Structure 1
Amino acid sequence: MANSTIAVLDIDGTLIDSNYHHAIAWYRALRSVDEIYPVWRLHRLIGMGGDQLVTTLGGEDLERRVGDQAREQQGREVDALLDEMAPLPGARELLVAIKERGHRLVLASSAQERHVDVFLDKLNARDIVDDWTTSADVEASKPAPDLLQLALKKLGAPTDAPSVMIGDSVWDIEAASKAGMPAIAVRSGGFGDDELQKAGAIAIYDTPGDLAEALDQTPLARNS
């Protein structure tokens, strides 16, 4: 397609309102193995894959002692909160607007596969998106660029194909930078504009719906 761009979207936290649920799930999971960390500190790491979060939080010692057990329990805690997670305003409309402009669309998530399945259903997105990833697809999740590079690969596109990342956390933006993608941010991750801009975001919007309305002012403008 002439002038077609690949939109690589984070789903968990960017399209689905789930960040604070994940923070609580991590708090409960760590508390179950007798490790107490303030919820605000956990929230600052949401958007980073679980394979990296525990080490970043408490170092190699914490990872060695409780990493696998905490991740497994965190998944169960998220299971219990799924019904409380809902699409953010304009989330599905954003997906439709991207496709209507002739672009390809892939969801690059580091969430667990069963959770991504639920999110796809909540968005009624299976017939809109071209493909998606989960944490099972790569060894290293965000802020490593692997998921974004895999997203392009799933569409048969080279790593230097015209693309743009849409995410909600500094970890999304950092992953995009490492993958050589411009990145657009929404504020649902709870990070400050200054943090998102410092990480490399080229634009910031309140909600997916706000981005959908402004899409023609971004690299995802309508194909000519």
Structure 2
Amino acid sequence: MSRVLVLDVDGTLVDTNYHHALAWFRAFRRFDVTVPVWRIHRAIGMGGDQLVPTVAGQDVEDRLGDSVRDVWKKEVDAILDEVCPIEGARRLLEAARDAGYTVVLASSGKPDHVDKYLDLLDARELANDWTSSGDVSETKPEPNLIEVALRKAGDDEAVVVGDSVWDCQAAERIGLPSVAVRTGGFGERELRDNGASRVYENLDDLRADLPNLPTGKPRRS
């Protein structure tokens, strides 16, 4: 049985976290809701269904949630061409394939955004499969995305790789080990405190340690 690399995309392979934070800030402001950008950044990695109530409160979610998410999508679309791959992303994908991993790109991004990132990374030939928001009902830190990724992989001896505390929490909720890179702007201690067994400064450091990554089987509900 091959090992599965459940690999986050936003903030891990493509440099989008601060684009998303700014887009959310602008979307909230469209409805006269001001949320500090630093607070939004702390929630990047969650899906929009989780982010709005987390940073703005349940009242804003109840009144404006879907409208804010619609505007956020337009704001992100306007700056999507500014997104770049994170240094070492394609080298990591190539090395994971060569090491025998089954690679599933686990993104809760909109399907058209995921298509953009796949093209940007030239990753369709390197990943065994990928996910988008269309595949899940609940986003991180809920583990639905990981569960979908494992079903797509066809195996369940896996490790989760991400850049945010939400990736680590999602892995922990399903009983899988996680490792993290600091490419999303989160600190080493907080990533470890939220479940990451190892934290890497960059993708090349992670790539060098691929043979040693911990893997495990998920808990079954």
What interval of TM-score do these two structures reach, taking the shorter chain for normalisation?
A: over 0.9
Matches within 5 A, 1:18-29: 18-29=16-27
For 1:18, give the aligned amino acid: T
Structure 2 gaps of 5+ residues are 216-221
Find the counterpart in structure 2 of residue 207 from structure 1: 202
Q: Match of 1:86, SS?
A: coil
CA distance in 1, matches of 2:57, 2:44: 16
- CA drift of 1:58 comes to 2.2
Matched, 1:180 2:175: yes
Q: Which residue of 2 aligns with 1:192?
A: 187
Instruction: Tell me how far 1:218 sits from its aligned partner.
Output: 2.0
Show structure 1 runs of 4+ deviating over 6 A. Answer: none
Question: Structure 1, residues 96-151: CA drift from partner, whole Å, max 9, x if none?
Answer: 11110111010111111110100000000001101111111111000000000010
Partners of 1:210 and 1:18 lie apart in 2 by 20
Aligned-pair identity in percent equals 53
Number of equivalent positions: 215
Q: Quick one: which of 46, 71, 75 aligns to 1:73?
A: 71
Match for 1:148: what amino acid? I
Match of 2:164 among 164, 169, 177: 169
- 2:140 is aligned to 142
Could you tell me which runs of 5 or more consecutive residues in structure 1 were left unpaired when the two chains were aligned. none
Do the aligned residues in 1 keep the contact of 2:159 with 2:213 (CA within 8 Å)?
no
1:32 is matched with 30
Where in structure 2 are the equivalents of 1:1-224 lying within 5 Å?
A: 1=1, 4-157=2-155, 161-219=156-214
- The residue type equivalent to 2:180 in the other structure is A
- Residue 202 of structure 1 aligns to a residue in which SS? strand
Alignment check: 8 A CA contact 2:35 2:56 kept = no
Tell me how far apart the structure 2 counterparts of residues 214 and 207 of structure 1 sit (CA, whole Å): 11
Q: If the length of structure 2 is used for normalisation, what is the TM-score? A: 0.94
Report the TM-score when normalising by structure 1.
Answer: 0.93
Paired with 1:184 and 1:16, the residues of 2 have a C-alpha distance of 17
Relative contact order, higher structure (CA 8 A, sep 6+) = 1
Q: Residues 214 and 155 of structure 1: is their aligned pair in 2 closer, same or farther, counting only changes over 3 Å?
A: closer
C-alpha separation between the residues in 1 aligned to 2:62 and 2:180? Answer: 33
